[in-house]
Amino acid sequence: MAALEFAGAPVNTVESLTRTTELALEGKDGFKKKLSLLGSTGSIGTQTLEIVEEKPELFEIVALAAGGNIDLLAEQIVKFKPKMASVGDEKLLPQLRARLSEMGLKESQFPELAAGQAGIVAAASHDDCDTVVTGIVGCAGLLPTVEAIKKRKTIALANKETLIAGGPVVVPLCREYGVDMIPADSEHSAIFQCLQGFPPGALRRIILTASGGAFRDWPIEDLAKVTVADALKHPNWAMGAKITVDSATMMNKGLEVIEAHYLFGSDYNDIDIVVHPQSIIHSMVEAQDTSVIAQLGWADMRLPLLYSISWPHRIRMSYKQLDLASIGQLTFKEADRVKYPCIDLAYAAGRTGGTMTAAMNGANERANEIFRNGVISYLDIPRVIEAAMEAHKKDLNMAPRLDDIVSVDAWARTCVDDAARKLSVVLA
């Protein structure tokens, strides 16, 4: 059964799942996941490799795709011996070959090497892998994920931008090819875990928890003077730069609302956000009878990543166990929609649907990037995204194909650059 429909009945009984898990743990049922890892040198990528390192009898790396971090990729190739590896640009291949030779590998021991978009697609659709972990950042993950679905790979989805931009194409494609898309994003993993065993129609509401990001304790008046370094200080999670800035604007939570809509089919009126500064409850689901079920754990991405590649099994790990008494208090407060306008922009884009979420996502990626490059201020981020969404209204496409989504994504970035230029003229 496709995970996208999993709010419905589970395929297995509790007894059969338990038995299967015991066999899997003993390695007797042939359980061995063959992974292709996109974004292997990033935060998601390196944590996925920690899992593989701890459980080599259960997980094997078939392909690695990285961007420009050649030294780390070379180390990963030597350690995990993938059949293929890809770098962000063809020009980096000589450097990778040289590094591998320096590390003692003969040419005959090199994996098949590839580069650029074609390389990521080759990794994502490698014949020998069964599961693709999408740890690449941004809309660059969309096309490789689509190709992986067409090859009937299970998708362990960290790259949320794939669904935000490509939901109208990706969700029907998963259904068409009977592909499971298992969430690795911590909130959606929590929801997915809470939904195990829910009968069809039992889900009433999703409650996404939010840390509140880098500025949760800053007064709104101080936001005009925040620096990039301030925005990169996440209170609870160590993550890549793009998602950390998205957390600081709370656009990350807005993106996660749309991700939840596409993964679990909930109406936007049935997806709420609550700020939970400790990041111990990773999200909750409310059943029709108002019972609320939560998933708890330390702020450690290895747990949701592990579940995304081992579902429905539960693998025994050596991780530090949760100790609620040492935490003392779990607290909650409402998300401030005035301080964080990105939340309402995301709900509005999601409710509009069609290509509007691709426009918003492309605009956000570009705004996030030029904020990190010092071109616009923190407060300009929602302004330029709103300008792109407003401009996209006249071209909204409610039944887009993949190439329409790719075009809107590219257009939204240029639209942000135009809006940023106008802002700098006003400011000058």
Ligand X SMILES: CC(=O)[C@@H](O)[C@H](O)COP(=O)(O)O
Stretch that binds ligand X, among 48-56, 209-217, 285-293, 309-317 (CB under 6 A): 209-217
Q: Rounded to the nearest 10 degrees, how much is the dihedral formed by the CA atoms of 196, 315, 32, 104?
A: 130
Residue 253 contact among ligand NDP, ligand X, Mn ion, none, beta carbon within 5 to 8 Å by kind? ligand X
Beta carbon nearer to ligand X, 40 or 279: 279
Q: Cβ of 325: how many Cβ atoms within 10 Å?
A: 5
Q: Rule CB under 5 A: is residue 185 a binding residue for Mn ion?
A: yes
Stretch that binds Mn ion, among 2-10, 183-191, 296-304, 308-316 (CB under 5 A): 183-191
Q: How many CA atoms lie within 13 A of 137 on its CB side?
A: 20
Residue 168 contact among Mn ion, ligand X, ligand NDP, none, beta carbon within 5 to 8 Å by kind? none
Contact positions toward ligand NDP, by CB under 6 A?
39-45, 65-69, 88, 120, 135-137, 140, 158-161, 185, 237, 239-241, 243, 301
Site map (CB under 5 A) of Mn ion, residues 137-176, x = contact: ----------------------------------------
Beta carbon nearer to ligand NDP, 40 or 131: 40
Stretch that binds ligand X, among 11-19, 102-110, 118-126, 183-191 (CB under 6 A): 183-191
Site map (CB under 6 A) of ligand X, residues 300-319, x = contact: -x------------------
Tokens coding 273: 């956000």
Beta carbon nearer to ligand X, 271 or 301: 301
Cα–Cα distance list, 387 to 136, 219, 220, 242, 362 (Å): 27, 25, 22, 21, 12
**How far is Cα 137 from Cα 426, in angstroms, rounded to an integer?**
32
Element of type H or E holding 272: strand 271-275
Report the SS3 class of residue 183: strand
Residue 210 contact among ligand NDP, ligand X, Mn ion, none, beta carbon within 5 to 8 Å by kind? ligand X
Beta carbon nearer to Mn ion, 69 or 247: 247
Among 36, 40, 69, 211, binds ligand X (CB under 6 A): 211
Among 125, 159, 252, 364, binds ligand X (CB under 6 A): 252
Specify burial of residue 110 (Cβ count, 10 A radius: 0-12, 13-18, 19+). Answer: middle
b/e burial code for range 222-242 (CB count within 10 A of at least 16 → b)? ebeebeeeebeebbbbebbbb
DSSP 310-328: HTT------PPPP-HHHH-
Total residues at interface with ligand X (CB under 6 A): 11
- Vertex 120 angle, CA 254 and 358, to 5°: 30
Beta carbon nearer to Mn ion, 131 or 186: 186
Total residues at interface with Mn ion (CB under 5 A): 3
Tokens coding 24: 């899997």
Total residue length of the chain: 428
Residue 211 contact among ligand X, Mn ion, ligand NDP, none, beta carbon within 5 to 8 Å by kind? ligand X
Report the SS3 class of residue 5: helix
Q: Within 333-352, which residues bind ligand X (CB under 6 A)?
A: none
Beta carbon nearer to ligand NDP, 120 or 146: 120
Among 177, 218, 237, 268, binds ligand X (CB under 6 A): 237
CB of 216 to Mn ion, least distance (A): 15
Specify burial of residue 351 (Cβ count, 10 A radius: 0-12, 13-18, 19+). Answer: middle
Where are any strands of DSSP class E within 166-235? 181-183, 203-210
Specify burial of residue 8 (Cβ count, 10 A radius: 0-12, 13-18, 19+). Answer: middle
Helices (H) and strands (E) in the chain, counts: 17, 11
Beta carbon nearer to ligand X, 301 or 363: 301
Residue 135 contact among Mn ion, ligand X, ligand NDP, none, beta carbon within 5 to 8 Å by kind? ligand NDP
Residue 48 contact among Mn ion, ligand NDP, ligand X, none, beta carbon within 5 to 8 Å by kind? none
Give the interface with ligand X as residue ranges (CB under 6 A): 185-187, 210-211, 213, 237, 247, 252-253, 301
Where does this chain bind Mn ion (CB under 5 A)? 185-187
